[in-house]
Structure 1
Amino acid sequence: MFAIFFPGQGAQFRGMGADVFGRYPGMTRFACDLLGYDLVSRCRDNQDDVLSRTECTQPALFTVNALHTFEREHREGPPADYCLGHSLGEYNALLAAGVFDFETGLRLVKKRGELMAATSVGGMSAVMNTPAPRLLDVLREDGVEGVDVAAYNTDAQVVIAGSDSVLRAAHASLKARGIRFAPLRVGAAFHSRHMEPVRSEFESFLKEFTFAEPRTTVISNVTGRPYGRGAIPEMLSRQLVEPVQWADSIRYLLSLGNEIEYEEIGGKSLLRMMKSIVKTGNQDAPIKSGV
């Protein structure tokens, strides 16, 4: 069994795409024209830290991940049985599975990034070595309200989201209790109640497109299970406001009981998460690094 992982926001870095832009000049020009700016120079120079801006980060990452995916296909890498993407990366998983073409995917993430950036409410923090139920109990005991769990990354790491004031209170509580945390460099409280104002607009935008059924099984961030038939628009709109169920997605993959080979497009962070889940969960399914 072979699985391919696609990273999301946070995986961007200055110089990304330099190894593939030149090999795919037509697609690169098309992306620049559709986006209305020189994506290559933004990725190369990252002037004024533009890659940290959500409206730029998301289409840039999607494009670079897509070009790396096409590169992989051209070198005839092992065909995937499962595709999994973390948050934005799920769009690359759906692209790889044939749900939509490159143009459609880029239009979707461009709109998604613009809408998410427009909220500009709050932020997110990763919290280590505290299971989500215990974490929420701790915050409740300390009188901190309004925190949402935005991602269940591993058994040892969850991500919380909230308004700036709520996160300040949460940080004070965690610091006082000796719980490790790290604020994330994101523009707002993604995958939380704070995305509700843009959810309906994105839902309407999704209705303008037609989606094919996946040719390869794609695991949904929302459910941690394969996409059901006809579920693409619903899952993508829900993904804005619901937590990323990455740990459950990996546990589902491991529950299939076969030896797993895996590869991450453009990074190693998701592979490290998988290894952490395997280690802490005492999973029986053997795993092997991909090509």
Structure 2
Amino acid sequence: MKNTAQTDAGKVAFLFSGQGSQYAGMLRPLVDAFAPARDAMERIDVVLRRLDLPTFEQIAWGGGDALGSDVWLTQLSLLCADLIVYCSLESLQIAPDCVAGHSYGEFPALVAAGAWDFETAVKATRARCGVIEACCEARGRMLSIAAPGAIVEQLRHETNEPIYLANRNAPNQTVVGGESGAVLRFQANLTARRIATQLLPVPRPYHTPLMRSVERELASVLESIVVAEPRTPILSSVTNRFVTLPEEIRENLVVQITRPVDYVDLIEQLADEGVRIFVEVGPRRILTGLHRKILRGREAVAVGCDDRHGPGLQRLIAVRTLLETRGFFNRPRRHRTVDIFASPTPAYMPPGR
């Protein structure tokens, strides 16, 4: 009998979630129910112990109070969580044609692309967080606003508050960052205008000029990190272009800290490149909601891999079923498998190494 599933599923993109997607107890049901997820966590823990760091369980399941407030533990937990989900998808023979990340999600995306391994990503994250924590000027908050960027920009000028556009997450969702007092005053002004807002569980005003003092030191500490050419295409959330040169990847990791993220444009570019299935890789399904808003009217689907209130394996089964019905498993194999624990062959070696 002829298979009625579509034979051309289009391209599949993995989108890696960033800071703000974390929650206490994340992925525990998946790890308990699915051996490949458990195996991935155990291999991750081996690396963390070798680096004298707490395990994923200790960070995400036992130290939930630090998630969202401690920059280092929050980003480390997300790096681990995103890659546990990635390994789980790989075990189901699901791999991407291209990858990208939202904000910090670019770090696990680089692992999935084969530009660096998990251990290198941990070291790069620790260096990044150390520089941020040491910078007294890099203080503030971030606010999500249910309004288009143009309207937020107009209101910002009207109120004359020293805040900055940080993220264009969806057609009607914009994020701003600034000093805490300015952000809270701006939020009160928007509330009086009946515009919905939400403070994000992020302790720094990322993607704003307030982080500029971090750039030079960050560039210096990242100089010791080995970067290889990606094996899987990766679309940078900094330039919204596919990157292949390690030097450009390194530069993007530095300027990312101050440059606004135009996530709407990133997703639209992927769709224009032929991506038809957008898989969120990581805890919760925040990006999936954004993808559906951005892709409205297009022939594309968005799906997430985690359900914090449901059985751990259920969402992965739903992802695999969706891909099967759209002919993903009927097409020629296009992807290259990436071992996230194997050091890639470096195309760029820092001086003195």
User: Any idea what the Cα deviations from partners look like across 1:75-131, whole Å, max 9, x if unmatched?
Assistant: 321x31110111111111111010001111111112222333444511000010x22
Partner of 1:125: 143
Deviates more, 1:16-25 or 1:151-160: 16-25
What secondary structure, in the 3-state scheme, does the structure 2 residue paired with 1:231 have? helix
Which of 213, 236, 251 is residue 268 of structure 2 equivalent to? 251
Which of 23, 26, 34 is residue 51 of structure 2 equivalent to? 34
Q: Which runs of 5+ in 1 are unaligned?
A: none
Partner of 1:147: 163
Q: Does 1:165 align with 2:181?
A: yes
Q: Does 1:70 align with 2:87?
A: yes
CA contact (8 A) 2:120 2:226 kept: no
Partner of 1:200: 216
Q: CA deviation at 1:71?
A: 2.6
Partner of 1:9: 19
What secondary structure, in the 3-state scheme, does the structure 1 residue paired with 2:177 have? strand
Q: Does 1:83 align with 2:99?
A: yes
Q: CA deviation at 1:4?
A: 0.7
Distance 1:248 1:288, change over 3 A: closer
Distance 1:217 1:123, change over 3 A: same
Q: Does 1:61 align with 2:78?
A: yes
Answer 1 or 2: higher relative contact order, Cα 8 Å, separation at least 6: 2
CA contact (8 A) 1:98 1:215 kept: yes
Q: Does 1:287 align with 2:301?
A: yes
What secondary structure, in the 3-state scheme, does the structure 1 residue paired with 2:198 have? strand
Which of 230, 234, 243 is residue 218 of structure 1 equivalent to? 234
**In the aligned structure 2, how far is the partner of 1:206 from the partner of 1:178?**
43
User: Any idea what the Cα deviations from partners look like across 1:192-225, whole Å, max 9, x if unmatched?
Assistant: 1121122111111221122111111111111222
CA contact (8 A) 1:7 1:264 kept: yes
Partner of 1:238: 255
**In the aligned structure 2, how far is the partner of 1:210 from the partner of 1:115?**
18
Q: Compare CA radii of gyration and give the structure with the larger one.
A: 2
Deviates more, 1:56-65 or 1:226-235: 226-235
In the alignment of these two chains, the number of paired residues is 283
| Structure 1 consecutive aligned stretches of length 4 or more whose deviation exceeds 6 Å | none
Letter in 2 for 1:242: R
Structure 2 length normalisation: TM-score?
0.75
What secondary structure, in the 3-state scheme, does the structure 2 residue paired with 1:240 have? coil
Distance 1:83 1:114, change over 3 A: same
CA contact (8 A) 2:278 2:291 kept: no
Distance 1:228 1:259, change over 3 A: closer
Which of 106, 109, 117 is residue 93 of structure 1 equivalent to? 109
Distance 1:27 1:171, change over 3 A: closer
**In the aligned structure 2, how far is the partner of 1:286 from the partner of 1:39?**
34
CA contact (8 A) 1:148 1:192 kept: yes
Structure 1 length normalisation: TM-score?
0.90
Partner of 2:287: 270
Percent of pairs with identical residues: 27
Distance 1:178 1:220, change over 3 A: same
**In the aligned structure 2, how far is the partner of 1:134 from the partner of 1:43?**
37
